[in-house]
Amino acid sequence: MDQNNSLPPYAQGLASPQGAMTPGIPIFSPMMPYGTGLTPQPIQNTNSLSILEEQQRQQQQQQQQQQQQQQQQQQQQQQQQQQAVAAAAGTSGQAPQLFHSQTLTTAPLPGTTPLYPSPMTPMTPITPATPASESSGIVPQLQNIVSTVNLGCKLDLKTIALRARNAEYNPKRFAAVIMRIREPRTTALIFSSGKMVCTGAKSEEQSRLAARKYARVVQKLGFPAKFLDFKIQNMVGSCDVKFPIRLEGLVLTHQQFSSYEPELFPGLIYRMIKPRIVLLIFVSGKVVLTGAKVRAEIYEAFENIYPILKGFRKTT
């Protein structure tokens, strides 16, 4: 009951600008467009492949995100004040759950005082019957982003392989040029159709920047390269829950989602339905999440699985 007015210590980070990337911030609020700018926006297609422009555009996006985060913080503060008022008025010790619902779900309209700070928000529940749980305080780190882009013109792979640096081309084995750049550290597969796959980046912005750099290399070799339909296809994240997990127990109770064959692979493969993410869960407590198209799906999936994993903590 003591934590009604102030943020619980584990959630201190959520109120700060640096905590903006944590799932605590109401990314799913209808007040904000889904993703609040943390997800790649469909960009007005600049055909110019200038890296400087790209970096400036990303900086502008970050500034916009910060402004949005400040607005969200103000909203949160208002909610806390309302919560404190209501709690003082005698609504029960549901405070932890309220805090949870207010940070993770829709915010009441600023300026209105809800009669009862209700957890019944319009947001659909993600998992059935999760007990009143706090946010895990653990943020999955992105490890790999795979994206595709169309350069919009046919390419002569042999020319590219011979003239570009750090390129490999072995048509007998694979029909694409494999090119790498140091910054951001990524690998690109460039096909003769003009389509390109960019892998290895650690963030959405880095993936886009890297793809633009590859496109510029191709452009400098004399091809009329454009930058069409950039799309992030897959995102991979990982984190550590810091306790061992009873995978056998988990596969028994979550049969319809899990598959665990220790003789084949030491991790349990959990296919979450909503969001549609595949998690690899290991005895050590390390978790790999993959299959996301946007960062929020990784965070959401982890917040869903964390209480379940806590329930299967190994006690020995």
Partner 1 sequence: MAYQLYRNTTLGNSLQESLDELIQGSLNTYRFCDNVWTFVLNDVEFREVTELIKVDKVKIVACDGKNTGSNTTE
- Using CB under 8 A, list all residues that contact partner 1: 146, 148, 158, 161-162, 165-174, 176, 178, 180, 182, 185, 187-189, 197, 199-200, 233-234
Please say which residue, 53 or 168, places its beta carbon nearer to partner 1. Answer: 168
Rounded to the nearest whole angstrom, what is the least distance from the CB of residue 166 to partner 1 in the complex?
6
In the chain, which residue ranges form alpha helices assigned H by DSSP? 12-15, 51-88, 95-104, 157-163, 204-220, 247-253, 295-311
Phi, psi dihedral angles at 44 (to 5 degrees): -55, 125
User: DSSP string spanning 247-267?
Assistant: HHHHHHHTTTTEE--TTT-SS
CA atoms within 13 A on the CB side of 30: 7
Closest CA to 148 of 227, 222, 52, 205: 227
Q: What phi and psi values does residue 55 have, to the nearest 5 degrees?
A: -70, -40
Q: Which is nearer to partner 1, 107 or 176 (CB)?
A: 176
By beta-carbon proximity to partner 1, the closer residue of 168 and 261 is 168
Placement of tokens 């903590």 in the chain:
313
What is the nearest approach in angstroms of partner 1 to the Cβ of residue 93? 49
Alpha carbon distance 107, 211 (integer Å): 37
Q: Which of residues 169 and 312 has its CB atom nearest to partner 1 in the complex? A: 169
Note if the bond before 122 is cis, omega within 30 degrees: no
- Amino acid occupying residue 180: R
Helices 51-88 and 204-220, interaxial angle, to 10°?
A: 170
Is 147 exposed, middle or buried, given 0-12, 13-18 or 19+ CB atoms closer than 10 A?
buried
Whole-angstrom distance, CA of residue 111 vs CA of residue 4:
20
Rank residues 84 and 146 by Cβ distance to partner 1 and give the closer one: 146
CB atoms within 10 A of CB 77: 11
Question: Which has the closest alpha carbon to 16: 72, 79, 58?
Answer: 72
Among residues 138 and 157, whose Cβ is nearest to partner 1? 157
Closest-CA residue to 20 (of 49, 51, 63, 50): 63
CB of 127 to partner 1, least distance (A): 28
CB of 222 to partner 1, least distance (A): 17
Task: State which residue, 214 or 306, has the beta carbon closest to partner 1.
Answer: 214
Q: Which is nearer to partner 1, 57 or 293 (CB)?
A: 293
